[in-house]
Amino acid sequence: MRIVAAAIAVLSALCACGLEGAERRGVAGERSLVIGVKADQPGLGLKGRNGYEGFDVDVATYIAGRLGVPRSRIRFTTTNSSVREKALASGEVDMVVATYSITPKRKTQVTFAGPYYIAHQDTLVRGDDLGVRNVRDLRGRRICEVTGSNSWRRVIEERNVAARRVAAPTYAACMGDLAGGRLDAVSTDDLILAGFAAGRDVRIVNAPFTDEKYGVGLRKGDLEGCAEVNRAITRMYQDGTAERLLNKWFGRSGLKLTTSVPQFEGCS
Amino acid sequence: MTPTRSPDAAVAASSAVPDSGGDAAPVRKAGRFSVFVRGRWLLTIPGRIRTHVALTLAALLALLAVLTVAIGNARDSVQTIGHDAGPQVVATGALYFALSDMDAQVASILLIGRDHGLGIGRDRSLERYERRRTEAGRAAVQAAQLATHDPDLRRTVEEVLDGLGRYERLAGEAMLLDRQAGHPPGEPPAEVVDAYRQATDLMKVELLPKAYNITLDTGEKVRRTHETERSAILTGRAWVVVTGALLLALLVATQMYLARTFRRVLNPALVLATAGTLVLVAVATALLSAQAGHIARAKRDGFDPILSLSRARAIGHSAFADESRYLLDPGRADTYEQTYLDKSLSVLYLDMGTKPLNLANYHPAVDGTLARYRPGPGAPPFLGLFGDEARVSRDGREAAAFGRTLQAYRTVLANDRRMRELAARGDRAAALDLRMGRTSGAIRDFDAYDAALVALAGVHREAFDEAIAAANGGLRGWAAVPGAAAAAIALLIAVGVRPRLAEFR
| Interatomic CA distance for residues A213 and B290, integer angstroms | 42
For chain B, give the longest Cα–Cα distance.
118
Q: Do the chains contact at B246 and A8, CB–CB below 8 Å? A: yes
pLDDT over 80 at B41, yes or no: no
Answer yes or no: do A209 and B335 touch at CB < 8 A. Answer: yes
Task: Determine what percent of chain A is predicted with pLDDT higher than 70.
Answer: 91
Residue B422 — very low, low, confident or very high, per pLDDT cuts 50/70/90?
A: very high
Q: Which residue of B has its CA nearest to A151?
A: B356
Average pLDDT over residues B6-20: 42
Residue A11 lies in a domain: no
For residue B27, name the pLDDT band (cuts at 50, 70, 90). Answer: very low
- A148 and A164 co-located in one domain: yes
Question: How many residues are recorded in chain A?
Answer: 268
Distance from CA of B233 to the nearest CA of A (A): 11
Instruction: Give B250-289 pLDDT, tens digit per residue.
Output: 999 998 988 888 887 788 899 999 999 999 999 999 999 9
- Residues A156, A228 share a domain: no
Check CB contact under 8 Å for A263 and B209.
yes
Rounded CA gap, B66 and B242, in Å? 10
* Residues B92 and B214 sit within 8 Å (Cβ to Cβ): yes
User: Does a structural domain hold residue A260?
Assistant: no
pLDDT of A11 higher than 60: no
User: With an 8 Å Cβ cutoff, are A235 and B152 in contact?
Assistant: yes
Which residue in chain B has the smallest CA separation from A103? B346
Asked if A238 lies within 8 A of B155 by C-beta distance, the reply is yes
- Whether residue A87 lies inside any domain: the answer is yes
Least confident among A15-19, A40-44, B266-270, B310-314:
A15-19
Beta bridge mates, A77: A36
CATH assignment at residue A129: 3.40.190.10
Cβ-based contacts of A266 with chain B (< 8 Å): 216, 219, 311
Are A103 and A58 part of one and the same domain? yes
Chain B neighbors of A208, CB-CB under 8 A: 335
The verdict on A61 and A187 lying in the same domain is no
Predicted pLDDT of residue A93: 95
Residues of B in contact with A238 (CB under 8 A): 152, 155-156
Q: Nearest residue on chain A to B360, judged by CA atoms?
A: A158
Average pLDDT of span A121-145: 91
Is residue B456 predicted with pLDDT exceeding 60? Answer: yes
Judgement on whether residues A41 and A77 belong to the same structural domain of the protein: yes
* Residue A44: pLDDT over 90: yes
Would A263 be classed as within a structural domain?
Answer: no
Contacts of A135 in chain B (CB under 8 A): 334
Tell me the pLDDT band of B88, cut-offs 50, 70 and 90. Answer: confident
A234 and B217 within 8 Å at the Cβ level: the answer is yes
pLDDT at residue A7, rounded to an integer = 53
pLDDT confidence of residue B279: 94
Which helix (H) or strand (E) segment is A116 a member of?
strand A110-119
Q: How far apart are CA A175 and CA A146, in angstroms?
A: 11
CA nearest to B250 within chain A: A4
**Interatomic CA distance for residues B134 and B43, integer angstroms:** 80
B213, B253, B311 member nearest A3 (Cβ): B253
Split at pLDDT 50, 70, 90, the class of B146 is confident
Whether B253 sits inside 8 A of A230 (CB atoms) is no
Question: A105 to chain B: which residues are within 8 Å by CB?
Answer: 349, 351, 383
Residues from chain A that touch B351, judged by Cβ atoms under 8 A, are: 105
pLDDT range class, residue B24, cuts 50, 70, 90: very low
Please give the residue of chain A at the shortest CA–CA distance from B52. Answer: A1
Taking CA–CA distances from A159, the nearest residue in chain B reads B358
| For testing contact with chain B, the best of A1, A17, A151 (most B CBs within 10 A) | A1
Same domain, A145 and A195: yes
What Å distances lie between residue B296 and A62, B81, B464, B468, CA to CA?
35, 10, 10, 10
Shared-domain flag, residues A98 and A153: no
Q: Which of A12, A104, A266 sits opposite B383 (nearest CB)?
A: A104
CA distance B213 to chain A (A): 6
Q: Note whether A180 and A54 are same-domain residues.
A: no
Cross-chain CB nearest to A135 (options B206, B210, B334): B334
pLDDT band at B21 (very low <50, low <70, confident <90, very high): very low
Q: Check A157 against B212: CB less than 8 A apart.
A: no
Phi and psi at residue B452, to the nearest 5°: -65, -40
Whether residues A131 and A158 fall in one domain = yes
Share above pLDDT 90 across residues of chain B, in percent, rounded to a whole number? 46
Reduce the secondary structure of B209-246 to three states and give it as a string: HHHHHHHHHHHHHHHHHHHHHHHHHHHHHHHHHHHHHH
Contact B334 A159 (CB under 8 A): yes
Q: For the segment B214-251, what is each residue's pLDDT rounded down to a tens digit?
A: 988 888 888 888 888 889 999 999 999 999 999 999 99
Distance of CA B453 to the CA centre of its chain: 19
Does residue A76 lie in a domain region?
A: yes
Q: What's the pLDDT score for residue B395?
A: 85
Q: How confident is the model at residue A58 (pLDDT cuts 50, 70, 90)?
A: very high
Mean pLDDT over B367-377 rounds to 92
Residue A19's pLDDT is what? 43
Residue with the bigger pLDDT between B492 and A14: it is: B492
Q: What's the total number of domains in chain A?
A: 2
- Mean pLDDT over B180-190 rounds to 86
Residue B334: list chain A partners with CB under 8 A.
Answer: 134-136, 159, 209
CB pairs under 8 A between A and B: 105
Kindly identify which residue of chain B lies nearest to residue A257, measuring between CA atoms.
B205
Q: Which of B152, B220, B383 sits opposite A238 (nearest CB)?
A: B152
Q: Please determine, for residue A106, whether its predicted confidence score (pLDDT) is greater than 80.
A: yes
Q: How far apart are CA A105 and CA A108, in angstroms?
A: 6
Q: Is residue A268 part of a domain?
A: no
Q: Do B152 and A261 touch (CB under 8 A)?
A: no
Q: Please, where are the H alpha helices in B116-150?
A: 122-146
Same domain, A188 and A148: yes
Q: What is the pLDDT of residues B129-145, one digit of tens each?
A: 999 999 998 888 888 88
Instruction: Give mean pLDDT, residues B191-202.
Output: 93
Contacts of A131 (CB under 8 A, 6+ apart): A137
Q: What is the pLDDT of residues A176-220, one digit of tens each?
A: 999 999 999 999 999 999 999 888 889 999 988 889 999 999 999
| pLDDT for the residue B5 | 43
Lowest mean pLDDT of A20-29, A77-86, A219-228, name the range. Answer: A20-29
Nearest CB to B205; choose among A158, A238, A258:
A258
CB contact under 8 A, A158 and B220: no
pLDDT tens readout for residues A135-180: 889 999 999 998 878 889 889 998 889 999 999 998 889 999 999 9
Name the closest residue on chain A to residue B231, using Cα atoms: A19
- Contact indicator for B167, B199 with CB cutoff of 8 Å: yes
Residue among A3, A104, A211 whose CB faces B249 most closely: A3
Q: Give A179 to chain B, closest Cα distance, Å.
A: 29
Average pLDDT, chain B: 86
| Sequential DSSP letters for B310-343 | HHHHHHHHHHHHHHHHHHH-GGGHHHHHHHHHHH
The interface pTM score, or ipTM, of the predicted complex is 0.85
Assigned domain for A262 exists: no
Tell me the C-alpha distance between A259 and A243, whole Å: 5
Q: Is the confidence at residue B393, as pLDDT, over 50?
A: yes
Question: Do A194 and A68 share a structural domain?
Answer: no
Q: Which residues of A touch B156 (CB under 8 A)?
A: 234, 238, 261
- For residue B186, the distance in angstroms to the closest alpha carbon of chain A comes to 23
Percent with pLDDT over 90 in chain A: 67
Q: With contacts defined as CB-CB under 8 Å, which chain A residues touch B358? A: 157-159
Predicted confidence (pLDDT) per residue in B318-328, tens digit: 899 999 899 98
Q: Hey, are the CB atoms on A105 and B1 less than 8 Å from each other?
A: no
Same domain, A130 and A166: yes
Which whole number is the average pLDDT over A256-260? 93
pLDDT for the residue B49? 86
Cα–Cα distance between B193 and B174 in angstroms, integer? 8
A180/chain B closest Cα distance in angstroms: 31
Mean of the per-residue pLDDT values of chain A? 88
Residue range(s) defining the domain that contains residue A62: 27-117+214-250
CA dist., res. B44 & res. B36, Å (int): 12
Residue A78 Cα, gap to closest chain B Cα (Å): 28
Give the tens place of pLDDT for each residue, B438-454.
766 888 899 999 999 99
CA distance to partner chain A, nearest, from residue B239 (Å): 7
Check whether A15 has a pLDDT greater than 80: no
Of A4, A235, A260, which has the smallest distance from its Cβ to B209's Cβ? A260
A20 belongs to a structural domain = no
Instruction: Give the 3-state secondary structure of residue B380.
Output: coil
